[in-house]
A and B are shown apart, each in its own frame.
Chain A
Amino acid sequence: MAKVPVQFTLNGTEKAEFIDSGTTLLHALRDKIGDTSPKGGCHQGTCGACSVIIDGELRLSCLTLAETCNGTAITTTSGLSEGGVLHPLQRAFLDAFATQCGFCTPGMIMAAKVLLDHTPTPSRDEVVEALSGNICRCTGYEPIIQAVLTAARSNSQHAA
């Protein structure tokens, strides 16, 4: 089958690839472009491990066809650290032991980042709601919620 071109910005860098038509964004990112931070847990939209941010909105890359992302700006967890310095969310996840096996972590961080981008000082309920499409089978969620609240506090201290 003829390949189709896709072109988007991934974590600030222009990417252009030829892919099979109908390829999911998750597959394109991981297997064509080599960004393995989004994880394929269920491929059914249920676990959230594949979450990425497309033009500022949280999306599931397993249910998004890569061709529909032409011209968009995509953020994944691998693009968050700057110059080897972890993003406050990554730091908080480490410090709060919010990551055990780590499989859900990139998706959790994407969901949390969208929340904090729009709501810098969220309530606990807002954090729970923001993470409600992401499943974690290790932590019991509480450390994750605390990590997001901690990152929000450290952000607001930076801003102050």
Chain B
Amino acid sequence: MALALQTFSTVKDANTALKAAGTRYLGGGTLVVRATNEGDVSLSSFVRSTEPSLSTIAVSGGKVRLGASVTMAAIARHPDLAPLANAARAVGGPAIRNMATVGGNLFAPAPYGDFTVALLALDATVSTDDSEMPIEEFLTNRDGSRAVVTSVAFALPPHNGFRFLKVSRVKPKGISVLSIAAVLEQAADGTVSLARIALGCMADRPMRARAAEKALLGSTLTKDGIAPALAAVGEGTSPITDPIASAWYRNEVLQVHLGRLLLGQIAGMETKA
């Protein structure tokens, strides 16, 4: 079936067009155009909007707003978004990063969605033209979502308070075995006062590791201190099985990698919080 592309200057008009059956929003196209190249005939029309706000990065007063069409490459090179550069660089190779958008990453099924794992740990807010919702709620309901996502917003984590790790077999570019992002705050005595941990590939979409977060509160980031969090991190996970790794393998190695992330044993990661 022939495909059509409809381009609108406003998000409002794009939203109206998306009400028609067989339409799908086109971000960078790295997933949807691939799907049509592979023969997905459920689509008859792509819809996109060129509204400038969709491509805007705004950083002020410690708050960040990323338009949904902002690419991974734009995030990786933005001087005010240095803490997120690793997570943006984790997505694909250079050409993919020039195309892959924030909006598309929010919908990417596992093993993709590495940047969304970071956004989940940052407890971002996802906006459409007429609504705002916490990212966790957005991810739960995304399959039924038809509206154009316009932006994501979050508070920049404190210096060294954000950690991100992607485990892959092929370096420097490879699909995730799993990815982990954590926002950690420590009290003056070194004990953890806030922990948000997000996991990629441990379910069909990014998920929070609530039990591990709870176990970490009040603990120190030492081998003994993090042991209860590691013991709890598998709670509620339902990893995917794909050619990269089986669900069993992902569950087996999750503790090891979370341990490395929490203890600051990841090469190139600044660890002093």
Residues on A facing B (Cβ under 8 Å)? 1, 4, 20-22, 24, 43-45, 48, 51, 57-60, 62-65, 67-68, 111, 114, 128-130, 132-134
Whether B30 pairs with A45 at a CB distance below 8 angstroms is yes
For B98, what are the chain A residues with a Cβ–Cβ distance below 8 Å?
57-59
Q: How many angstroms from the CA of A10 to the CA of B34 in the assembled complex?
A: 24
Contact A58 B5 (CB under 8 A): no
With a cutoff of 8 Å between Cβ atoms, the chain A residues found around residue B26 in the complex are 65, 68
When distances are taken between beta carbons in the complex, the residues of chain B under 8 Å from A24 are 33, 37
Those of B26-50 within 8 Å (CB) of chain A: 26, 28-30, 33-34, 36-38, 46, 48
Instruction: Please determine whether B95 and A21 come into contact, CB atoms closer than 8 angstroms.
Output: no
How many A-B residue contacts, CB cutoff 8 Å?
84
Q: Are A59 and B95 in contact (CB under 8 A)?
A: yes
A and B contact pairs by CB, cutoff 8 A, 10 listed = A1-B4, A22-B5, A44-B38, A45-B30, A59-B98, A62-B37, A68-B48, A129-B172, A130-B94, A133-B94
Q: How far is the CA of A64 from the CA of B30 in the complex (A)?
A: 8
Instruction: Tell me the nearest residue of chain B to A56, going by C-beta.
Output: B98
Contact B93 A20 (CB under 8 A): no
Add 18 more A-B contacts to A45-B95, A65-B33 (CB < 8 A).
A1-B2, A21-B2, A21-B4, A22-B4, A45-B30, A51-B95, A59-B99, A65-B29, A65-B46, A67-B5, A68-B26, A111-B94, A114-B94, A129-B172, A132-B172, A132-B173, A133-B92, A133-B94
- The minimal Cβ–Cβ distance linking B10 to chain A, given in whole angstroms, is 17
Answer yes or no: B3 CB below 8 A from chain A CBs.
yes
Please tell me which one of the listed residues A1, A20, A67, A133 contacts residue B173 in the complex, with CB atoms under 8 A apart. Answer: A133
CA distance A114 to B93 in the complex (A): 13
Decide: B2 and A111 in contact? CB cutoff 8 A: no
**Distance from A46 Cβ to chain B, minimum over Cβ atoms (Å):** 9
Q: A63 and B73 in contact (CB under 8 A), knowing A21-B4, A45-B96?
A: no
Which chain B residue has the least Cβ–Cβ distance from A129? Answer: B172
Task: Tell me whether B96 and A133 are in contact (CB under 8 A).
Answer: yes
Q: Is B241 an interface residue (CB 8 A)?
A: no
- Within residues 115 to 138 of chain B, which ones have a CB less than 8 A from any CB in chain A? none
Tell me the nearest residue of chain A to B6, going by C-beta.
A21
Interface size of B by CB at 8 A reads 26
CB distance from A45 to the nearest CB of B (A): 5
Q: Give bound CA distance, A35 to B244, whole Å.
A: 36
B34 near A22 with CB under 8 A, answer no
| Contact of B29 with A64 in the complex, beta carbons under 8 Å | yes
Shortest 6 CB-CB distances between A and B: which pairs? A133-B93, A22-B3, A132-B173, A43-B37, A21-B4, A63-B33
Question: Is B94 within 8 A of A21, CB to CB?
Answer: no
Within 8 Å CB of B93, what residues of A?
Answer: 48, 132-134
Q: Is B53 an interface residue (CB 8 A)?
A: no
Cβ of B99 and Cβ of A64 under 8 Å apart? yes
B178 to chain A, nearest CB (A): 20
**Proximity string of chain B (97-108) to chain A, C-beta cutoff 8 Å, 1 when within and 0 when not:** 011000000000
Please indicate the chain B residues that have their CB under 8 angstroms from the CB of A63 in the complex: 28-30, 33-34, 37, 99
Residue of B nearest to A130 (CB): B94
In the assembly, what is the distance between CA of A134 and CA of B38, in Å? 20
Which residues of chain A come closer than 8 Å to B29, judged between CB atoms? 63-65, 68
Say yes or no for B7: interface residue by CB 8 A criterion. Answer: yes
Q: CB-nearest residue of chain A relative to B175?
A: A46
A128 partner residues in chain B, CB cutoff 8 A: 172
Q: In the assembled complex, how far is the CB of residue A52 from the closest CB belonging to chain B, in whole angstroms?
A: 9
The CA-CA distance from A68 to B30 in the complex, in Å, is 14
CB neighbours of A57 from chain B (8 A): 73, 98
Provide the residues of chain B in CB contact with A134, threshold 8 Å: 93
Which residues does chain B contribute within 8 Å of A111, judged by CB atoms? 94-95
